[in-house]
Structure 1
């Protein structure tokens, strides 16, 4: 049993990126932001290896970011090649990545908002940070513990709203990017991507058209029938050759002679019955007869002389 949504509940795929750019360009821009985010995992692993330390959650996030970096690189290649099947798989991968990233975001947000004290106490995670803290104490004005806590809470109350807004906007923007990738994959599967108003027609897709049948899930027999239906003939008739056209014209059978309808003189008995047997030809047939090689000049002269003799006898 296949579950489907009602037509009025289905989401209509996007046709452009923010109504301004090509949807493919928008997907590539979204992937650039994701790749930049995943590259941070590489620097996180370098920091852990060099002795910066970190929790198990941070280490797992860094490792996942490096692995996901390879997957998003493959997805970027599928998007550029306009492969409908792989682009749909990449959309599923992007959605799964958003689920994992959301879980880590919630985990770190709970720790930062509710478990980390915001009293301005200085915590050094490395000798370099200890040197920075000591330098700031020597350069700045010393504060008492009550003054330090009050100043730190004032800063935290001012920044926590902005931090929550940035996290929420980033989460919603990623939802939009996921829907954009799904829309792009839908247009590729339906073959409507080149018909969109914002699509750039700089060149055809590098993805072969034969692979489009695979994305539709057709069998081997149906796929063969489709290819046979759209296959063009290997040889076309040569209609532009003047020599072959002239040969066909010469070898064509002559048309049937056309008789002249009887006139009023023939009905009155003035013209004899011998004139009814006379054959008249069209102008085109006369031109063809005069240009034929079978008629010589001698034959033409003889026929004209016979005609003069008949007129004399009459």
Structure 2
């Protein structure tokens, strides 16, 4: 039973691809997400050209801007090793990965079923941009001309999408592992030098300094989902290296690594 539990637990990588530390890996992953969201936010410029955006497209672009704002606030705290902000960054990346997968699946299904339309339904409008619809028409023509060549290319594209999604999932584990490191190191320092921590709510308990106000409520909410992962320190030495002998600052954060 213990072997089964051990095999089902959330992966806890020690580094990014075995090359760089979790802190540097988290910074690189976050910067990659910034570039991804910047390209998505540029879609709003289409409004200035008079292009009519669908509700799905508009929601995607607005969401990209919201994520950019969150990243601008949270990324500086990676080096500062702020437990609250690093935990928030991990949840932001997890939620974005899920939403990105949902959008990819929605567009992929819409594209797949559109390729199955007959000539009588080719004029039916979809939520996709005009250039995508034109690409679908070209795909149908290529399919008629070249037979199985285009389906093979379609399969390759689907494999690339699946591969990119799996990489995003791995990046989520990296950001989560770093947030777990920061949070647990901060909890250890609070136990040794401070008022201690709560077994159920960690440093965000109501009677602790970090549990006051909205930050405290949000912190308790974040650790309540996956409490066994965030607050269990029994396997921290096994899965991830220590963060060093850094001490918390007056704001309740850890000084950055050199």
**Same-fold call, TM > 0.5?**
yes
CA contact under 8 A between 1:53 and 1:125: conserved in structure 2? no
Q: Structure 1 stretches of 5 or more lacking a match?
A: 1-5, 131-145, 193-208, 222-229, 231-314
* Alignment-derived partner of residue 10 in structure 1: 9
CA contact under 8 A between 1:14 and 1:180: conserved in structure 2? yes
* Alignment-derived partner of residue 177 in structure 2: 183
The offset of 1:46, in angstroms, is: 0.4
2:81 matches 1:94: no
The offset of 1:155, in angstroms, is: 5.0
Alignment partner for residue 168 of structure 1, among 149, 162, 166?
Answer: 162
2:216 matches 1:217: no
The offset of 1:111, in angstroms, is: 1.0
The offset of 1:13, in angstroms, is: 2.4
SS in structure 1 of the partner of residue 20 of structure 2: coil
Q: CA–CA distance in 2 between the matches of 1:161 and 1:20?
A: 31
The offset of 1:169, in angstroms, is: 1.0
* Alignment-derived partner of residue 34 in structure 1: 33
Cα distance change on mapping 1:50 and 1:13 into 2, 3 Å: same
* Alignment-derived partner of residue 58 in structure 2: 59
* Alignment-derived partner of residue 279 in structure 1: none
Q: How does 1:246-285 map to 2 (within 5 A)?
A: none
Q: Structure 2 stretches of 5 or more lacking a match?
A: 123-128, 135-139, 187-192, 210-246, 248-258
CA contact under 8 A between 1:52 and 1:125: conserved in structure 2? no
Q: CA–CA distance in 2 between the matches of 1:99 and 1:12?
A: 17
CA contact under 8 A between 1:118 and 1:153: conserved in structure 2? no
CA contact under 8 A between 1:75 and 1:86: conserved in structure 2? yes
- Larger deviation: 38-47 or 50-59? 50-59
SS in structure 1 of the partner of residue 17 of structure 2: coil
Q: Give the length in aligned residue pairs.
A: 183
Q: CA–CA distance in 1 between the matches of 2:93 and 2:174?
A: 11
Q: CA–CA distance in 1 between the matches of 2:151 and 2:178?
A: 42
* Alignment-derived partner of residue 45 in structure 1: 44
2:158 matches 1:159: no
CA contact under 8 A between 2:90 and 2:176: conserved in structure 1? yes
SS in structure 2 of the partner of residue 169 of structure 1: helix
Q: How does 1:66-105 map to 2 (within 5 A)?
A: 66-105=65-104
The offset of 1:117, in angstroms, is: 5.9
The offset of 1:103, in angstroms, is: 1.4
CA contact under 8 A between 2:47 and 2:53: conserved in structure 1? yes
* Alignment-derived partner of residue 115 in structure 1: 114
Cα distance change on mapping 1:86 and 1:18 into 2, 3 Å: same
The offset of 1:149, in angstroms, is: 5.3
CA contact under 8 A between 2:23 and 2:178: conserved in structure 1? yes
Across the aligned residues of Structure 1 and Structure 2, the Cα RMSD in angstroms comes to 3.9
TM-score between both structures, scaled by the size of structure 1: 0.49
